[in-house]
């Protein structure tokens, strides 16, 4: 049934196709259609239609995001006004209603993150909006997390379909598997938090609330890491499918070529160098000296070195695997050699500048942290933009480099935790 419906969707175009991309995610939680036809399939197929020119990419993303947000909002109000009566007349006769009430209390007090995370799971996406309404969660809280989750979900899955159009069936299966993985991860995180709560209650640790909050943040980072992995997979499939650049990449390259100006080309060369090892290695050495020699801390130095070396290993491996040619020499100013996908400069920039922002922001005021984060993002964008402007990479090469560098940065964050947090945990357990 799913394959037949998918084929019918792929035969549509124009506003009818956009209506389907909007309607299926909207009906997923509001009318429980998601139990039969997961909404991400329609959104991925919308991305496929956009790549084939049947509908525009921007309108597809807008339809998917609006459908997700509107559908969950309707599910919230259905649960708020009719959910309890529906529950008592159906499955409420078979389950312990005390557990349902506990779930409602949890959602009411701390359920904002559950709304966001639930958007990316197969079963919870259908149930959480209604349970949020039943629990009495303030609509402002629900809507904030609903909008955030719907926006990230819609953009990611449309782009997955757009960049992997000919492999949509494979992507469909991967998307379904990812939903199940997210559900399993959510269950494991819930169990881990429950066990941690019980253990700390026995030890009477005073910082339990902060510990649980930190773990929720890590749960969110883990989810975003998985989404980045899905996006990188779709970009890899796009690179394999379009070794000489697709229409999207070609259009951006020609726009760059037609808008080249002498002074801007020279500035782009300098910006491109900010993502090279010639610049990054001295910065890493200086920062490492600051922490190792002057502060006596080895973890930040190890984090920076791991960020750089790991990013080099990753992008080199994928370059050899995909082996995508660079843009034509006639359109290139730098005349770099070797495979183009992913951009090594973009990968290194995100990993190293991101790691620097993280380690130098520890213990500083929130305003300083924001400035450091913005500086790392701006530097990385300048590097990637310069590589495209100079014709050294296709645009999707740079985008894949950003995603790959972000994934590796998250891994480094996990493996090199904040020394202050480690010391605090030792003190609380001692």
Identify the CA nearest to 341 among candidates 385, 270, 381, 399: 399
3-state secondary structure 294-306: HHCCCHHHHHHHH
pLDDT digits (tens, 9 = 90+) for 400-417: 999 989 888 877 776 555
**327 lies in some domain:** yes
pLDDT at 102 over 70: no
Q: Which of 54, 238, 242, 393 is catalytic?
A: 393
CB 119 within 8 A of CB 223: no
Instruction: Give the pair of three-digit tokens for residue 261.
Output: 């100006």
**DSSP category for residue 333:** S
Q: Within this chain, do residues 179 and 274 fall inside the same structural domain, yes or no?
A: no
Q: Within this chain, do residues 132 and 19 fall inside the same structural domain, yes or no?
A: yes
Average the pLDDT over each of 38-52, 73-87, 265-279 and give the range with the smallest value: 73-87
Identify the CA nearest to 160 among candidates 262, 237, 242: 237
pLDDT digits (tens, 9 = 90+) for 218-256: 555 555 666 677 778 778 878 887 888 778 888 888 888
Percent helix, strand and coil across the chain, each to the nearest 5 = 80, 0, 20
CA 29/CA 343 separation, integer angstroms: 39
pLDDT at 57 over 50: yes
| 3-class DSSP assignment, residue 252 | helix
Instruction: Give the pair of three-digit tokens for residue 69.
Output: 């947000």
CA 300/CA 306 separation, integer angstroms: 10
Q: Within this chain, do residues 284 and 170 fall inside the same structural domain, yes or no?
A: no
| 3-class DSSP assignment, residue 90 | coil
Residue 416: per-residue pLDDT: 55
Q: Within this chain, do residues 75 and 114 fall inside the same structural domain, yes or no?
A: yes
Residue 122: per-residue pLDDT: 61
Higher-pLDDT residue of 184, 81: 81
Average pLDDT of the chain? 76
- Domain count across the chain: 2
Expressed as residue numbers, the domain containing 276 is 246-429
Q: Within this chain, do residues 281 and 185 fall inside the same structural domain, yes or no?
A: no
**237 lies in some domain:** no
Kindly state the average pLDDT of the residues 115-125: 71
Higher-pLDDT residue of 107, 192: 107
**138 lies in some domain:** yes
Higher-pLDDT residue of 263, 120: 263
Instruction: Give the pair of three-digit tokens for residue 327.
Output: 């843009």
Grade residue 358 by pLDDT with cuts at 50, 70 and 90: confident
Q: Within this chain, do residues 173 and 292 fall inside the same structural domain, yes or no?
A: no
Kindly state the average pLDDT of the residues 364-374: 84
CA 313 centroid distance within chain = 22
CA 390/CA 406 separation, integer angstroms: 23
CA 64/CA 160 separation, integer angstroms: 13
pLDDT digits (tens, 9 = 90+) for 14-53: 888 899 889 888 888 666 665 566 777 888 888 888 888 8
For residue 20, what is the enclosing H or E element?
helix 14-30
Identify the CA nearest to 236 among candidates 178, 166, 165, 163: 163
Neighbours of 267 (CB within 10 A): 14
**277 lies in some domain:** yes
**197 lies in some domain:** yes
Grade residue 87 by pLDDT with cuts at 50, 70 and 90: low
pLDDT digits (tens, 9 = 90+) for 274-297: 999 889 999 988 888 877 777 777
Grade residue 91 by pLDDT with cuts at 50, 70 and 90: very low
Identify the CA nearest to 245 among candidates 168, 333, 332: 332
345 is catalytic: yes
pLDDT at 423 over 80: no
Highest average pLDDT, of 203-217, 356-370, 410-424, comes from 356-370
**85 lies in some domain:** yes
Q: Within this chain, do residues 172 and 261 fall inside the same structural domain, yes or no?
A: no
Residue 31: per-residue pLDDT: 66
Q: Within this chain, do residues 213 and 278 fall inside the same structural domain, yes or no?
A: no
Q: Within this chain, do residues 201 and 252 fall inside the same structural domain, yes or no?
A: no
For residue 137, what is the enclosing H or E element?
none
Q: Which of 200, 238, 242, 345 is catalytic?
A: 345
Last-in-domain residue among 229, 256, 272: 229
pLDDT at 199 over 50: no
Identify the CA nearest to 129 among candidates 81, 174, 90, 88: 81
Grade residue 272 by pLDDT with cuts at 50, 70 and 90: very high
Grade residue 158 by pLDDT with cuts at 50, 70 and 90: confident
**Cis, bond preceding 342 (omega within 30 deg of 0):** yes
For residue 38, what is the enclosing H or E element?
none
**DSSP category for residue 342:** S
Give the CATH number, domain containing residue 265.
Answer: 1.20.144
289 is catalytic: no
CA atoms within 13 A on the CB side of 188: 9
pLDDT digits (tens, 9 = 90+) for 371-405: 888 899 999 999 999 999 999 999 999 999 999 89
Last-in-domain residue among 229, 262, 291: 229
């Amino acid at each position: 049934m799913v394959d037949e419906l998918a084929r019918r969707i792929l035969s549509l175009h124009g506003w009818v196709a956009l209506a389907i991309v909007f309607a299926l995610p909207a009906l997923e939680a509001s009318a429980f259609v998601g139990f039969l036809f997961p909404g991400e399939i329609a959104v991925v197929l919308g991305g496929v239609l956009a790549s084939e020119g049947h509908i525009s990419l921007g309108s597809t993303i807008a339809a998917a995001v609006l459908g997700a947000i509107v559908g969950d909002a309707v599910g919230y109000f259905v649960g708020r006004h009719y959910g309890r009566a529906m529950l008592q007349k159906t499955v409420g006769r078979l389950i312990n209603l005390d557990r349902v009430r506990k779930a409602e209390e949890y959602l009411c007090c701390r359920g904002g993150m559950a709304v966001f995370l639930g958007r990316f799971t197969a079963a919870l996406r259908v149930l959480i909006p209604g349970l949020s309404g039943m629990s009495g969660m303030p609509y402002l809280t629900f809507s904030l997390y609903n909008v955030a989750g719907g926006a990230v979900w819609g953009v990611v899955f449309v782009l997955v379909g757009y960049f992997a159009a000919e492999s949509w069936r494979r992507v469909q299966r991967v998307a379904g598997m990812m939903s199940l993985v997210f559900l399993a991860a959510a269950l494991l995180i819930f169990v881990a938090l429950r066990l941690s709560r019980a253990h700390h209650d026995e030890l009477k640790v005073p910082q339990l609330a902060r510990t649980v909050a930190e773990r929720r943040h890590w749960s969110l980072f883990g989810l975003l890491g998985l989404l980045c992995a899905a996006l990188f997979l779709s970009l890899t499939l796009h690179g394999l499918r379009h070794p000489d650049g697709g229409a999207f990449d070609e259009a951006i390259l020609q726009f760059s070529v037609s808008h080249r100006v002498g002074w801007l080309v020279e500035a782009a060369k300098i910006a491109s160098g900010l993502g090279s090892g010639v610049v990054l290695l001295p910065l890493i050495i200086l920062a490492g000296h600051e922490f190792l020699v002057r502060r006596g801390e080895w973890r930040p130095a190890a984090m920076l070195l791991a960020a750089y070396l790991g990013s080099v290993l990753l992008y080199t491996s994928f370059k050899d695997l995909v082996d995508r040619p660079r843009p034509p020499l006639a359109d290139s100013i730098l005349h770099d050699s070797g495979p183009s996908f992913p951009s090594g400069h973009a990968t290194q920039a995100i990993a190293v500048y991101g790691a620097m922002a993280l380690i130098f922001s520890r213990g500083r005021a929130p305003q300083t942290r924001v400035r450091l984060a913005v500086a790392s993002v701006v530097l990385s964008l300048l590097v990637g933009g310069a590589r495209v402007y100079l014709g050294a990479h296709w645009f999707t090469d740079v985008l894949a480099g950003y995603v790959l560098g972000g994934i590796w940065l998250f891994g480094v964050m996990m493996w090199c935790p904040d020394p202050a947090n480690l010391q605090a945990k030792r003190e609380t357990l001692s």
